[in-house]
Structures are given as structure tokens and as C-alpha cells.
Structure 1
Amino acid sequence: MATRFVAFGGWLSAVALCSVPSAPVHAQQAQPSSAPVVQPGAPGTPSRRLPSSTTATAPQRSQADVEFMQGMIMHHGQAVEMTALIPSHTENKEIRSLGARIGLSQADEMKFMKRWLRARGEPVAMTMSAAMPGMPDMDRSGSPMPAMPGMLTSKQMEALRQASGAEFDRLFLTGMIQHHNGALVMVKQLFDTPGAGQDAELFDFATDADNTQRAEIGIMQDMLKEKR
């Protein structure tokens, strides 16, 4: 019996040795499959499931990202200017509450955008006219730039400054709806640009801005309906 046991044990050892090269293959097959990789979609678009073999790579910064942030700082600046008129132009509590919320949130977002640009060694201002109100916007070639989407004209801003009471309320709501819709266009243009909007911080900011301003547009539209 002892002799047979040794022989049997030797046979087991031989089998084990022969099986060593294939062991890792069996071990890999036994492991559970990796979790799928989900790529978030831009606002209004679904997420995508990517192969589990997908590896993360740091996206290159797009010039469109930089210009979006610079432009949005200027865009937000006008909204803050509009809300600053509220305390001296209307007693409407709803307008005052809404304006305070918009003014504070957009002022905070401007600080974030400036930090984002400075951290990447980019200038905060898109053009010299950003620091000199009233001067026409110029592109790098010195040609006039088209107005950013939703921005109120100088005539609209002057009419807002001259109005008061119910007329101010109406002009403020219609003007801010126009302004917010312009911001939505800017976000869409960003995500429609190949290679843009992939920076994680910028993606989160642009998505949140899109959601917030859509909600505020709905609130302001309801407020206008109540005034009719």
C-alpha cells in the first residue's frame, strides 16, 4: 500500500507540474469581469457604455474651453450688473429674491471661472474691451466680434436703468430670460465643438449652469404670466 501511495503521489505531482503554465489562464477565467466604463453625456444626451478595457487618459485642454470660460465671465458680468439694479428700481419681493439668488450664484461662478483660467496659465479677459465697458469687442485680428448669445444691447440696458416698478420688473424678466437662453446656447456650442468640454471641472460647471439656468427660465416665465 505504501509503495502504491508514493507512486500515486508522484503521479499527482507530475500532473500538477504539467498544469502550472495553464494555471494563470484558469485563474483569469475564474475572475469576475471588470465593471463597465460609463462616459457621461453632454446636457440632453445619454451616457455611453465603453469597453471595460478602456483606460483613462487626461484630456488635452481645448482652446474652446478657454474661450468658453472667458466669454462666460463676461456674460455673467452683465447678469450681475442687471441684478444690482433691483434694490433701487423695484419693491417686488419675488423679483428681489430671484435677483439676489442669480446675482450671488453668478458672482461665485465668476470667481470659479477666474480660478480655473489662472490655474491653467490663461488670461481671464478674452479681449481688452472686457476691462473697458462700452468699447466694441475685437477678435485677434482686430475685427469686431459678434455679440455673445443672449447679451443685452446697450439700448436694452439703458431702458432697464431708466425703468422702475412694474415696467422694470417686466424688462428685467424678459431681459434675463434672453440672457439665460444665451448661456444655454454657449454651453451647447461648447459641447458641440470636437475635443471641447472634456475637462472634468469644466464639464461639471457647464452642466450645472445649463440645468440651473433652464430652471430659472421656467420660474421667470411663470412670473411673467402672472403679471399679464
Structure 2
Amino acid sequence: MLLAPDEPRQQANRIEKRSRMKKRQTRWILPCTFALALTACASGQRSTGTSPGPEGRELERLEALFQARADSVTSNVSEADVEFMTGMISHHAQALVMSGLAPTHGASPQMRILTSRIINAQTDEIAFMQAWLRDRQRHVPEVEVDGLTLTIDGGPAPRMHGMLSDAQMQELAAARGVEWDRVFLTYMIQHHEGAVTMVSDLFATDGAANDDIAFKMASDIQVDQRSEIRRMKRMLEEIAGRPEGPSPQDRHPSP
């Protein structure tokens, strides 16, 4: 039977497609088959009570290796890592309270962009740190915000490096317009510098940050907050260089 000009190519494509499907199936079937065989053999050896032969010993070794890898998630975690994650959740939560005042306190458009970035970044980081603690079967602090009041697990938030006092929070809440921008930048720089100090303290602690994820998280926080500190200092200098009184932008902020 003669094939049309395009039929050989189509036939080759069908063969190649079937080959790829078989390879994908093999990649899934083999691990599952091995896992089932491992479970069945291990169960058989336990039920008979006989000493395992060479194959049984190899299966026991693989089973132990599998368990060791599962346990490795928690084995590298130090109490310093847990304290850092727990404390940084509280620290970030106060930054959310501070930044959340921008829309109602006459913040300039530039400040609204900055505070939105802080809220987005630190909300994600809080969720990440809570998941990190949960995955390692550690206590996960619950954050609640009511106006200026921040509670952790139903009680006052622990005071970490750089966090604002109640008086400083009241000062920020009372400010408006350009003055709010100035007070916010002043205190958020203080807040960020505290976070950088927390990371430095973690890295200086023996046995801390051996967990790869904790190390990367802390490193990213340090780099990001140092970058934002430089940006906020420039913004603060710009405000200090303005003539007295709000600029037209401050009087008519963008929606």
C-alpha cells in the first residue's frame, strides 16, 4: 500500500509520541513498584520473624535511608532558628500595622507605593515562616491586628529589635500628610535596622541557620531590608529638603 507524502512523517510522529508516553509511564511505574516491593518485602520479613538475607538487608538499608531523609527536615533545626522565625513573624506584623496607615493618613503617592510593597512582601514572608514552623512540627504563632494593637497568640507581641514602642506607634497614628511620611520613614528605618540585627544575631549563634531554608530566608530578609533602608534614607532626605508645608502632590494624593 502506498503512503501519501505526509503519512511517513505522521507515522513517525505517532511512534515518537507513544515512545514518550511509555517513558513517562515507566518513570512513574518503576518508583511505585519499587516502593510497593520494599513495603511487601519488609512486611514479609517482619511477619515470618526470619533473619533477612542479603536482599532483605539491602531493603532494610534503603528503608532506613528513606526514613533518614524524611527526618532530615527537622534534624538541622536549632532552637535559634525557631526563635528567629517566631520573632520575625511578630516583627513583620508590626510593619504591616504601620504600613496600613498610609491610605488614611495623607501619605504621598511615593509613600503609598513603598508601603504597598512592604505589605505585599512581608505578608508573604509571614505565611512562609508560619509554614516553615508548621512543617517542622513547631508552634505557629497566630497574628491578630486590631487598629494599632498587635497580638500574638492572644497576648502582647514580644518586643524584638527595632520594634516601635506604644508611644512611637501613637505618634505615627497622630501624624498626617508630609509629617506622617517623615515619621513613618524615621521609624521604619529603625524597624528595618532591627530586622538586620536579628539576622546578624542568628548568624552569630553557634549551630544556627544550618537549615538551608532558614539560612536563605534570613539572608533574603537582610539583603532586602538593607536595600529598603537606603531607599528610605534618600526619601527622608528629600522630605527634609522641601520647603515648609505640603507639596501639591501631598495635598492632592492620587487615589
Question: Shorter-chain TM-score: what band?
Answer: 0.5 to 0.7
For residues 9-55 of structure 1, the C-alpha deviation after alignment (integer angstroms, 9 at most, x for no partner) is xxxxxxxxxxxxxxxxxxxxxxxxxxxxxxxxxxxxxxxxxxxxxxx
Matching residue within 133, 138, 147 for 1:117: 133
CA-based RMSD: 1.8
**Native 8 Å contact 2:107 2:181 kept in 1:** no
Q: Is 1:150 matched with 2:162? A: yes
- Structure 1 gap ranges (5+): 1-57, 138-146
1:126, distance to aligned residue in structure 2 (A) = 9.2
Of 160, 174, 180, 1:162 maps to 174
In structure 2, the partner of 1:179 is 191
Separation in structure 1 between the aligned mates of residue 125 and residue 217 of structure 2, nearest angstrom: 8
Match of 1:132 among 143, 154, 161: 154
User: Are 2:85 and 1:69 equivalent residues in the alignment?
Assistant: yes
Native 8 Å contact 1:83 1:103 kept in 2:
yes
Cα displacement (A) at 1:125 = 2.3
Gaps of 5+ in 2: 1-71, 144-150, 241-255
Q: Which residue is 1:194 aligned to?
A: 206
After superposition, the C-alpha distances for 1:119-141 in whole angstroms (9 at most, x for unaligned) are 111011299x62335x374xxxx
1:10 maps to: none
**Offset of 1:172 from its aligned partner?**
0.4
What TM-score, normalized by structure 1, do the two folds share?
A: 0.67
CA distance in 1, matches of 2:197, 2:118: 18
Residue identity (%): 46
Task: Label 1:107 to 1:63 Cα distance change in 2 as closer, same or farther (>3 A).
Answer: same
Q: Given that residues 67 and 126 in structure 1 are in contact (C-alpha distance below 8 angstroms), is that contact kept between their aligned partners in structure 2? A: no
- 2:218 and 2:85 mapped to 1: Cα distance? 9
Contact 1:89 1:165 (8 Å CA) reproduced:
yes
Q: Is contact 1:70–1:126 with CA below 8 Å preserved after alignment? A: no
Q: Deviation above 2 Å: which 4+ runs of structure 1?
A: none
Residues matched between the structures, number: 160
Rounded to whole Å, the distance in 2 between the matches of 1:91 and 1:136 is 26
Q: Does 1:222 align with 2:234?
A: yes
Flag the 1:132–1:171 CA change in 2: closer, same or farther, 3 A: farther
Shift of 1:91: 3.9
Determine if contact 1:71/1:126 at 8 Å carries over to the other structure.
Answer: no
Distance in 2 between residues matched to 1:159 and 1:104, nearest whole Å: 24
TM-score (norm 2): 0.60
Higher-helix-fraction structure:
2
Contact 1:80 1:102 in 2 (8 A): yes
